[in-house]
Amino acid sequence: MSALETLWYTRCPVSADSGIAVQKGWLEEGLRGQCTAIRSLRETSELSVRHGGSIPALWARSAGRKTSLIGLSWEDETQRILALPDSGIEVTRDLKGRRFGVPKCATAQIDFQRAQALRALENALKLDGLTLSDMEIVDFPISGGSCDDVPAQSVAGGHVFGIPRSGQGAELLGLIRGKVDAIFLKGVDAAQTADRLGLYTVIDVGLHPDPLIRSNNGTPRTLTVDQPLLERHFDVVVRLLEEVWRAEAWAHRHPGETRRFLARETNSSEYWVSVAYGEDAHLRLRTGFDKQAVGALQDFSDFLYRQHFIPELVDVASWVDARPWKTAIHPDSGRGV
């Protein structure tokens, strides 16, 4: 079998150990010995790897793309249902009968922003015995795009993601103008926006103790590879996983530097990284096959199918290929952690 010339990968500007592996140059270093270069892109028909939010990966699998799930990472983040402070909405049950603003992109292959907003809302409502039908859903049209559409730029020797150009924030403007009563925001954007505009957090489902309530596009995140890559270049996939684990082990020992990396990755400050992902964000970077994560991903897949975001239901258990995970050597715990 000839060497793999180029490994194509795509990722989002989120908290993930693969981002550290890329920024530190370890992924490139680890594959150089196998004469394999790495390149980043949005979409490709070439052999590829993706680590990021689970919606694009689930959609691809549902639509028939031959991929394998080789790892899951779970980094909890703030997921907020937000309202104006004088709205009279104080707790989740106060949302009944109110207007909820969600983005809607008619041109997107999969409208992941809409999907994650409705998922968070459904999970919040079910805690008080309510459903999506108990609220008026107000659509805010946006132009196409996703977090992968914004290429990373090289700034001061590191990769920095720019601000998405997809018109996101229409529902936020609708909230401020009184066209809706509540919206959903997550991650650093949620923390910064709520603070800057004085918005009231009705509920942060990202803090709920039940992992199924917290499960959404980013919880867990999926590490997937195209099946031809796995079958033809198994050693490359194993090395990829080992470099991700190398970054993870480094992060656990370097909390301050990890926050700086995550701040660069999310185009924010270390303070907002701590608010959005927790002060122990460096310890949350773990990629493996935790049973809780697998179950949460299945629950989320069921939601996407039920709400018509994916064409076919994905059986997560049959999607998993643990061979690289069992073969790779973890820098801290030995083989097959």
C-beta atoms surrounding 129 within 10 Å = 10
Q: What percent of the chain has pLDDT above 70?
A: 77
9 pLDDT band, cuts 50/70/90, is low
User: Looking at residue 13, what is its pLDDT?
Assistant: 54
- Taking 90 as the threshold, does the pLDDT of residue 335 lie above it? no
**Per-domain residue ranges of the chain:** 6-74+218-335, 79-214
CA distances from 8 to 43, 168, 287 (A): 9, 27, 20
Cβ proximity of 78 and 266 under 8 Å:
no
Same fold, 6-74+218-335 and 79-214: yes
pLDDT value at residue 150 = 47
pLDDT digits (tens, 9 = 90+) for 295-309: 999 999 999 999 999
User: What DSSP string describes 252-321?
Assistant: HH-HHHHHHHHHHHTTS-HHHHHHHH-TTGGGS--EE--HHHHHHHHHHHHHHHHTTSSSS---HHHHB-
pTM of the model: 0.83
Please indicate whether residue 37 or residue 252 has the higher confidence score (pLDDT): 252
Radius of gyration, CA atoms only, the chain: 20
Assess whether pLDDT exceeds 50 at residue 32. Answer: yes
Architecture of the domain defined by 79-214: 3-Layer(aba) Sandwich (3.40)
For the stretch 84-110, pLDDT in tens is 999 999 999 999 999 999 999 988 888
- Residue 263: closest CA among 253, 254, 273: 273
Q: For residue range 192-245, what is the model confidence (pLDDT) as tens digits?
A: 999 999 999 999 999 999 999 999 999 999 999 999 999 998 998 998 899 889
Contact 328, 335 (CB under 8 A): yes
Beta bridge partners of 228: none
- Regarding the domain with residue range 6-74+218-335, which homologous superfamily does it belong to in the CATH classification? Periplasmic binding protein-like II (3.40.190.10)
Q: What is the mean pLDDT of residues 137-143?
A: 91
Task: Specify the length of the chain in residues.
Answer: 337
Q: What is the pLDDT of residue 243?
A: 86
Could you read off the pLDDT of 142-183 as tens digits, one per residue? Answer: 875 544 444 444 444 444 444 444 345 899 999 999 999 999
Other CB atoms within 10 Å distance of the CB of residue 307:
14
| pLDDT at res. 43 | 42
Q: Which residues contact 13 (CB under 8 A, 6 or more apart)?
A: 19, 147, 150, 152, 161, 265, 266, 267
Q: How confident is the model at residue 25 (pLDDT cuts 50, 70, 90)?
A: low
Cβ atoms of 305 and 313 closer than 8 Å: yes
pLDDT at residue 296, as a whole number: 97
d(CA 172, CA 184) in angstroms, rounded, equals 9
Peptide bond into 220 cis (omega under 30): yes
**DSSP one-letter string for 119-145:** HHHHHHHHTTT--GGGSEEEEEE--S-
pLDDT at 24 over 70: no
Residue 70 near residue 223, CB atoms below 8 Å: yes
Please give the Cα distance from 114 to 33 (Å, whole number).
Answer: 42
Residue pointed to by tokens 């996101």: 168
pLDDT at 102: 97
Give pLDDT, residue 173.
96
Question: 183 phi and psi, to 5 degrees?
Answer: -145, 175
The predicted pLDDT at position 158 comes to 46
pLDDT tens for each residue of 243-284: 889 888 999 999 999 998 888 878 889 999 999 999 999 888
CA dihedral 170, 172, 219, 275 (to 10 degrees): 140
